[in-house]
Structure 1
């Protein structure tokens, strides 16, 4: 489904990515982990056209999307949920979801109901401004808004960042539900590496803007060097 090869680029004149490879197959959950500054979020933003690639390519369903602007990439079937500033705080939950369907010209009420089924609390809070919600609930709104265009691949940048420990497991459960119930493939950057690898079909470890390890989630968890260097032992 997604094939990113030899991604090289960054911000301004400085490269942060140095030949990064990432792939996602249909139905997969793929996690990207690594230390701070490894290029994890930069790689995801490059896939979504938010970071310019100087070299390399990104293909989705066999079509070249390298350096396309995000408004064109989203129409190809890729959704993106940024880590911060990912809701419109003064708009209600329902209005936030409707903003996610801004390019649709058909009736999207059925998709909105699917989002409410995935995140029942959002149905209860649909008339409440998103800025008044908890961090976990705002993250649900952001994911729900991205799902309104019925993407086949969802990019999640640190979906559990800043959430209370008790909420983290719920968020991972929601991600599983998006994958299982809607059939959406997931590529996520996540600092909660152990939790992410337990859930992921495959994982990548990045370090210094390069691929360090690639394997199944269970194999990466069982890898002693990965555990010592990136999972806190």
Structure 2
């Protein structure tokens, strides 16, 4: 049974389909990456899975349960966490307050969850009283990912987690994503730094105009000359 599986998705905005039969799946403990040119429907696919964009046709299953068009607010209780590319922290709140808000709907002691986040992101422990809005882009991304982990998710969905970061912070973010995955959490991410993302991916999807063009292991996609020429800059 796949962790999450989508088949034949048609979805978009204002009656215009951005996704045109898109399919994807994530198995338990996998890192799966969606790449493709701007406007390919990558972020739309993530939002459709999470209930933020209406699906006109097709089906989404999560751990064997059909969740097509379920409201986004129901996803956290099912163990799905989503980190959008923008507006992913509360800038006026402290790091600690941001993390605590991540578990607002989850009962129980937050201490063990906070400790797990601080182990993955030690800098957040040091900065826990600092306002998130005063942090660097890379640090804010850590806060956003940490807050998502506060629900103890089975699946972590990341939309462009390295956007706007320096090469050093890109490397650090990718390493933290691998560390999260090693905890047994499935990861599905859209990523503009396609080569680095595919290098750590169990599987990758290349989308173009809302359609699946290629699907293979990360290394196989990197080695595919057509994919490299058309979608990875040669």
Query: TM-score interval w.r.t. the shorter chain?
Result: over 0.9
Match of 1:145 among 135, 147, 153: 147
Q: Which runs of 4+ in 1 moved over 3 A?
A: none
Q: Which residue of 2 aligns with 1:206?
A: 207
CA shift, 1:5, in A, is 0.5
2:221 alignment partner in structure 1 = 220
Question: Secondary structure of the equivalent of 2:172?
Answer: helix
Cα deviation, residue 73, structure 1: 1.5
Q: Work out the number of aligned pairs and report it.
A: 232
Q: What is the CA–CA distance in structure 1 between the aligned matches of 2:31 and 2:111, rounded to whole Å? A: 27
Is 1:134 aligned with 2:136? yes
3-state SS of 2:129 partner: coil
Q: Which residue of 1 aligns with 2:103?
A: 101
Aligned to 2:69, the other structure's residue is in SS state coil
Partner of 2:69: 67
Could you say which residue in structure 2 is the equivalent of 1:21? 23
CA distance in 2, matches of 1:12, 1:99: 32
Residue-by-residue CA offset, 1:94-138 (whole Å, 9 max, x unaligned): 000000000022112101100000000000000000001110000
TM-score (normalizing by structure 1): 0.99
Which of the numbers 155, 161, 164 marks the counterpart of 1:162? 164
Q: Distance in 1 between matches of 2:33 and 2:41?
A: 13
Root-mean-square deviation (CA, aligned residues, Å) is: 0.5
CA-to-aligned-CA distance 1:146-203 (integer Å, 9 cap, x gap)? 00000000000000001112210000001000001x2110000000000000010100
CA-CA distance at 1:43 after TM superposition: 0.2
1:186 maps onto 2:171 in alignment: no
Q: Secondary structure at the match of 1:54?
A: strand
Secondary structure of the 2:130 match is: coil
Describe the SS at the equivalent of 2:157: strand
2:53 is paired with a residue whose SS is coil
Kept after mapping to 1: 8 A contact 2:77/2:106:
no
Unpaired runs of at least 5, structure 1 = none
Quick one: distance in 1 between partners of 2:220 and 2:209? Answer: 22
In structure 2, the gaps of 5 or more residues are none
SS at match of 2:10: strand
TM-score by structure 2 length? 0.98
Q: How far has the Cα of 1:74 moved from its partner?
A: 1.6
Aligned to 2:11: 9
